[in-house]
């Protein structure tokens, strides 16, 4: 056993875990989120038709049960069966993955970035998907790496990302943001309550 360091002597720090990004091919593979080094898991899905972007901008939030019945209130805003179907699927999937009886859902049709600066979520794990428009951007490594445009990566439109946050013990979260342009996006996010 090594003696404790003397005053003024540098202390060795436990190295930070690698941030592993995992693309899953099917929902059953999302159990990878329970691996310590996985900071982001994502699932490729097709983007919805851009016609959904022609509606008036809005933000809708609600507490939703796994059955998704509360999502019916979203229908007048999106006027799209495809949006409601995708939202129900993702609410059910996220709820099952974390054994949640209710989740917080936000759907926003934006004409400006929701979160233009790279940031870390304070939540346990946030699901983010851009149903139409440009996908969420992220960087691995230290947050200052976000200043280097060459390291910025982006989810494809329609892809679903599960971003671990600061409330997940022992994880080094992935910094992420909305694309910094003013293009319209239809974004759905789900948080554990």
> For each of the chain's 193 residues, which pLDDT tens digit applies?
444 444 444 443 344 557 899 999 999 999 999 999 999 999 999 999 999 999 999 999 999 999 999 999 999 999 999 999 999 999 999 999 999 999 999 999 998 777 888 889 999 999 999 999 999 999 887 665 556 666 889 999 999 999 999 999 988 899 999 998 889 999 999 999 9
Is 133 inside a domain boundary?
yes
Is 136 inside a domain boundary?
yes
What backbone phi and psi angles, to 5 degrees, belong to 163?
A: -95, 115
With contact defined as beta carbons under 8 Å apart, do 69 and 84 qualify? no
Residue span of the structural domain in which 145 resides: 20-192
Is 1 inside a domain boundary?
no
Half-sphere exposure of 136 (CA within 13 A, CB side): 32
Number of residues written out for the chain: 193
**Six-digit token pair at 187?**
């974004």
pTM value is: 0.87
Domain at 67, CATH number: 2.60.120
Task: Please tell me the chain's helix, strand, coil percentages from 3-state DSSP, rounded to the nearest 5.
Answer: 25, 30, 45
Long-range contacts of 17-22 (CB under 8 A, 24+ apart): 17/170, 17/171, 17/172, 19/140, 19/141, 19/172, 19/173, 19/174, 21/140, 21/153, 21/174
Is 10 inside a domain boundary?
no
Sign of the dihedral defined by the CA atoms of residues 48, 54, 57, 62, in that order: negative
User: How many domains in the chain?
Assistant: 1
Is 12 inside a domain boundary?
no
Is 128 inside a domain boundary?
yes
With contact defined as beta carbons under 8 Å apart, do 49 and 86 qualify? no
Measure Cα distances from 80 to 37, 91, 128, 180 in Å: 37, 17, 19, 26
Question: What's the CA gap between 148 and 155, in Å, rounded?
Answer: 18
Is 2 inside a domain boundary?
no
Is 15 inside a domain boundary?
no
Question: What's the CA gap between 126 and 169, in Å, rounded?
Answer: 15
Predicted confidence (pLDDT) per residue in 39-92, tens digit = 999 999 999 999 999 999 999 999 999 999 999 999 999 999 999 999 999 999
């Amino acid at each position: 056993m090594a003696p404790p360091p003397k005053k003024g002597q540098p202390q060795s720090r436990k190295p930070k875990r690698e941030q592993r990004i995992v693309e899953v091919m099917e929902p059953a593979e999302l159990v990878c989120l329970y691996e310590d080094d996985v900071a982001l898991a994502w699932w490729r899905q097709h983007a919805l038709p851009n016609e959904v972007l022609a509606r008036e901008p809005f933000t809708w939030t609600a507490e939703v049960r796994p059955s998704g019945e509360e999502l019916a209130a979203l229908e007048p805003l999106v006027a799209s069966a495809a949006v409601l179907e995708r939202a129900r699927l993702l609410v059910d999937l996220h709820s099952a993955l974390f054994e949640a009886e209710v989740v917080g859902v936000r759907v926003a049709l934006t004409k400006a970035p929701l979160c233009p600066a790279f940031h870390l979520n304070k939540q346990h794990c946030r699901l983010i998907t851009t149903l139409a428009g440009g996908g969420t951007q992220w960087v691995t490594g230290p947050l200052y790496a976000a200043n280097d445009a060459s390291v910025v990566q982006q989810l494809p439109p329609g892809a679903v990302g599960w971003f671990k946050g600061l409330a997940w013990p022992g994880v080094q979260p992935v910094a992420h943001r909305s694309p910094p342009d003013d293009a319209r996006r239809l974004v759905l996010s789900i948080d554990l309550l």
